[in-house]
Structure 1
Amino acid sequence: MARNLSISHANRKKVLYSMNQNMNRVCNNTINILKGGFIMSLLMAFSIVLVVLSIGDIISTKTKAFIPSVFVAALLFLFGFWTFFPQDIVALAGFEKSIIYLSMYLLITHMGTLLTVRELLRQWKTIAIALIGIVGICALTLTIGKAIWGWETVVIATPPLTGGIVAAIIMSEAATSIGRENLAVLAIVTYVMQGFVGYPLTALMLKKEGNRLLSGFRSGVLKHVKQNETSGDVNNRKKLIPPLPEKYITTYVILTKLAITSLLAVQFANLIKPIMDISPFVMCLFFGVIAQELGFVEQKPLNLANSFGFLMTGLMAFIFAGLAKATPSMLAKIAIPLAGIIILGVIGMGILSMILGKKLGYTKEMSFAIALTALYGFPPNYILTEEASKVLAKTDEEKEFLMDEMLPKMLVGGFTTVTIVSVIIAGIFSKLL
């Protein structure tokens, strides 16, 4: 009897063990199927990627941009990669590497068309302050940062800190090409996290500057000089190449001219490579400026072709695809250099921008705010300025006064750093590895 009970007990243990093993096998198979992409179809992957990006936008809007959308999206992608996302979910969603590179060429050429020499000449002081802020970032990261974390680390992390998504992608690819996966992740995470430092600092600077402006406005010392629309007549000025009749300005025609401009830029970069090795992305920026000034390409061509949003979506998805390599242990290793490089960069930009700003007649608050646009660019620079003006102003007239005084500087600062200089710096730094 005792022996039978013993056998029965042993059998029960075997049955329970077998059931547990089967359950584990089913769970593992399910996860493997999901991560292997057998269930993750094109539309499912595309939908998931868009849901993640949308959640980031919604939370950013709800918090009035205090919590960056890229920060939220990065956390969601990390959670997904650590659980059930396939490692190649972005590629499964249709955003293959060749498509992303095409998007980058077109987008950077498009950015070049936003640059009008006339408007930049008007804002030369703002441009000078934005540029000296970039110098401040590089000065501290490439000296103190290099001494602490090494040359490769600061070279990879500095360009994303001076600008936006394109610089982050260029440096991430450069790190991958030399087999430094952890530094490729550092480039992406730097881009994701820097805005989280820049937003509250900028909000503080703009509120202090806004209070100063309002004090002068209310006392009658400062007058409201309304800003004239300077960019609206760009396409109406006479140019070397006359514009096409409106009926021929179709989506295909606009994209064709933009593609030809990008092609010429890349071919020219390859042609002069034996003499001067310039990144094709930097050359696309220059050719975009030239093509728009000559009249070959319209200003904001991708907006006219209703293509800007989709190309940017692919680019953003590609950025977060790099987080598939970010294991918890890897993130723990880069946390200290990430925080240190961002802190050094912000201190450097703050010191130099305030010094130069004072010499040019700007307040230290406005100067620092202009330099900080390097950490996020457009549209946060617009949102933060509007939010500060709305909070401080008691009337519509006061709000308009604050917007006219601060917004042009913030927009030009962001355009200078994120759109132009960061791409140039990334092109240069990618050659330093």
Structure 2
Amino acid sequence: MEPILAFSVVMLIWTIGEFISKKTKALVSMMLVASMIFLVGFAADLLPYDLIEKSGLLGIGNAVIGVIIVHLGTTMSLKDLKEQWRTFVIGSLTVVIMTIALFFVGNLIFDRNIAVAGTAAITGGTVNVLMVQDKAADIMKAGGDLGALSGYLLAVFPLLILNLKNLVGFLVTANILKKEALQVKQDYRDGKLEYVEEAAVADPTDNSTSILPDFLLTPYAKLFLLGATVYISSFLSQLTGGTINTFVIALLMGIILRHFKILKPSALSSTDSFGLLMISIMVIAFAPLADVVPSDLLSLVWPIIFYLITGVLMVFVAAYFIGRKVGYSGPLSIAVGMTTFFGFPGTMVLSKEAASVIGETKEEIAVIEQNILPIMVTAGFSTITITSVITGGLIVGLIIG
């Protein structure tokens, strides 16, 4: 297949996934739709096995994973995290507790590699899946034995969990947020809450948020700075002997460089490249699907069910008790914990949906959003963007071969 045709086919699959996601109000994620199309297409020989490689996106994705991670770090404001400290505590501690508990329990039921892959996927996002796949690929190249699952199945396993947990997370959290929205509406009607006029949204092209000279604030210069940050992160990771994953350091450096105004908030937002780079790194996760034999998937059914069910139960218990300790309601605490199942933009979509369904006037809708949306967005950052990358980077090193 010619590269341009392969590229066009991949973009078509993404377009279909995006269309269905919008029609279902993100209940069915774009990733889930794309996964199913790739899985069926490869298994039925409707898609060539080298489709993703031929598209050229695979090479781009492998090169820019770290760039995306640094960008995610620049979306974090230490000031905002300080103001939302209770949300951060609930989200982060929930992920840490889930990681420890699910790894040890999973290690008793399955083998270590399945436990690591399942735990990393259920507590994190695409980055965690890519870290598992990268580690599995390194072991296979060295001729290692990955145990109960072959290399490509160990790579596919966390991807399937990632896609299915989005659906589970949306279904559970949507109902929980509606309960919280009802309470917020009642508090507003009782005079316990007030409507606050919306503040102006900051212009992402405003260069006053950086201390760098203008020639380092062009799109090309920003990409250079992000790439250089990843390279430095890789060097620092090597100094630890690989104990601290490059992506973990890259995320922390993004947060720090934004704080000191070296990198702008949401560093990639004004480069016009974010969409293509995101597609490139997500395509990497789908590459192992080309090697999957449908009958092999049967061996993954039980581990997937285990991690989905146990993950939800862990969130309900851990997030509820932690949240009650710091003064959040039960439903809101659980909703914060559940963001580890989907993250942004699901956090925004579900918050706005709960407000529009429960609020009966424009002001009620606005008040509900003001009291739920900032918490949920911060929660997604605390679980998926920060804590899960750190915990995932640590436990992925436990994969043996």
* Superposition TM-score, scaled by structure 1 size: 0.85
1:378 aligned partner: 344
Match for residue 212 of structure 2 among 243, 248, 255: 243
Distance of 1:234 and 1:47 partners within structure 2: 31
Taking the TM superposition and a 5 Å limit, the aligned residue runs for 1:293-304 are 293-304=259-270
Distance of 1:249 and 1:144 partners within structure 2: 48
Structure 2 unmatched ranges of 5 or more: 140-145
1:213 aligned partner: 184
Kindly provide the amino acid, as one letter, of the partner of residue 130 in structure 1: G
Displacement of 1:277 after TM fit? 2.2
Distance of 1:234 and 1:212 partners within structure 2: 38
The alignment status of 1:96 with 2:66, answered yes or no, reads no
In 1, are the aligned partners of 2:61 and 2:283 still within 8 Å (CA)?
no
Partner secondary structure for residue 301 of structure 1: coil
Match for residue 128 of structure 2 among 146, 167, 176: 167
Displacement of 1:100 after TM fit? 1.7
Match for residue 87 of structure 2 among 126, 129, 132: 126
Partner secondary structure for residue 398 of structure 2: coil
Displacement of 1:407 after TM fit? 0.4
In 2, are the aligned partners of 1:141 and 1:154 still within 8 Å (CA)?
yes
Distance of 1:350 and 1:227 partners within structure 2: 32
In 2, are the aligned partners of 1:135 and 1:349 still within 8 Å (CA)?
no
2:364 aligned partner: 398
1:308 aligned partner: 274
Distance of 2:205 and 2:101 partners within structure 1: 39
Distance of 2:86 and 2:341 partners within structure 1: 19
Displacement of 1:47 after TM fit? 0.9
Displacement of 1:186 after TM fit? 0.5
Distance of 2:108 and 2:5 partners within structure 1: 46
In 2, are the aligned partners of 1:114 and 1:289 still within 8 Å (CA)?
yes
Taking the TM superposition and a 5 Å limit, the aligned residue runs for 1:105-254 are 105-178=66-139, 179=146, 180-181=150-151, 182-225=153-196, 242-245=211-214, 249-254=217-222
Percent sequence identity over aligned pairs? 30
What does the per-residue CA deviation read over 1:272-308, in whole Å, with 9 as the maximum and x for residues that have no partner? 224x721111111122122222222222121111111
Taking the TM superposition and a 5 Å limit, the aligned residue runs for 1:28-39 are none
Shift of the 176–252 alpha-carbon distance from structure 1 to 2, 3 Å rule, reads closer
Shift of the 45–281 alpha-carbon distance from structure 1 to 2, 3 Å rule, reads same
Taking the TM superposition and a 5 Å limit, the aligned residue runs for 1:320-399 are 320-399=286-365
Kindly provide the amino acid, as one letter, of the partner of residue 355 in structure 1: F
Kindly provide the amino acid, as one letter, of the partner of residue 273 in structure 1: T
Structure 1 unmatched ranges of 5 or more: 1-39
Displacement of 1:87 after TM fit? 1.5
Match for residue 252 of structure 2 among 286, 289, 301: 286
In 1, are the aligned partners of 2:96 and 2:391 still within 8 Å (CA)?
no
Displacement of 1:236 after TM fit? 7.6
What does the per-residue CA deviation read over 1:120-142, in whole Å, with 9 as the maximum and x for residues that have no partner? 10000000010122134224312
The alignment status of 1:260 with 2:260, answered yes or no, reads no
Shift of the 109–368 alpha-carbon distance from structure 1 to 2, 3 Å rule, reads same
In 1, are the aligned partners of 2:75 and 2:266 still within 8 Å (CA)?
yes
In 1, are the aligned partners of 2:61 and 2:280 still within 8 Å (CA)?
yes
Partner secondary structure for residue 268 of structure 2: helix
Q: Which stretches of structure 1, 4 residues or longer, exceed 6 Å deviation after superposition?
A: 229-239
CA RMSD of aligned residues (A): 2.1
In 1, are the aligned partners of 2:339 and 2:376 still within 8 Å (CA)?
yes
Distance of 1:374 and 1:172 partners within structure 2: 20
